[in-house]
Structures are given as C-alpha cells and as structure tokens.
Amino acid sequence: MSVGVPGLMNGRRDDCSRSSSSHHRPRPNPSRRRYVPTSEWRQLDPTLILVILMIGILLGIIGKLLGITGKLLGIIGKLLAIIGKLLGITGKLLDIIGKLLGIIGILLVNYWVYYYWV
C-alpha cells in the first residue's frame, strides 16, 4: 500500500471519504418546496401596525412614569414614617415630662397643704 493522501485508494476516493465530504450537497428539489404560510402581519394595513406600535410606546412611557411615581411615593412614605416615629418619641417624652410635672405638682400641693393648713 502506498502512503499518501488519506481517502485516496488506487487514485480515486473511497466511499468513506465521499460520505463525509460536505462541499457536494444535493440541490433542493423545487417541486418539493415547503409550504410557508403568509404572515397575517403582512396582510394588515401599515398604519394599523404604526398605531399599535405607538400605543405600545405610550404604554411603556406611562409605565415608566408610574414606576417613578411609585418610587417617589415610597420615599415620601419612608420620610413620613421617620417623621411619625420622631413624633411618637416626642409624644412619649412629653408624656414622661407631664407625669413628672404631675408628680412635682402633687408634691407641691402636699407641701403647701402641710405647711399652710397644718
């Protein structure tokens, strides 16, 4: 056997290399063409397609604006929650101060009654 180009045997190609060859493809048979259904979008009026696209764009813009509004409302809600917590703390402090003043007032009344009435 001669050592040479693989796939050649006695000056011609053997069957194994012919089946793996990729640059000789069979041509498609024009009578066996696949049926490609026509798209319904091609049958629609182009202005209708533009109207649908414009509606989609407008809905997208409205959605983005609503998202931004929602984020702003969330920030405002967090700020109001912080203000509410601060007011709650202030209210508790005022309650404590009021109780202390009440205790001081009771002590002063007791002092006044003890020294001026007795």
Q: What is the dihedral of CA 65, 70, 72, 78, to 10 degrees?
A: 180
Residue bearing tokens 């959605």 = 63
Most confident of 14-18, 19-23, 36-40, 68-72: 68-72
Greatest Cα pair distance, the chain, in angstroms, is 142
Give DSSP secondary structure letters for 76-115: HHHHHHHHHHHHHHHHHHHHHHHHHHHHHHHHHHHHHHHH
pLDDT per position as a tens digit, 24-54: 666 666 666 665 556 665 666 788 889 999 9
Q: Tell me: the pLDDT tens digits for 65-116?
A: 999 999 999 999 999 999 999 999 999 999 999 999 999 999 999 888 888 7
Choose among 20, 18, 2: nearest CA to 10.
2
Residue ranges covered by each domain of the chain: 45-117
pTM for the complete prediction?
A: 0.43
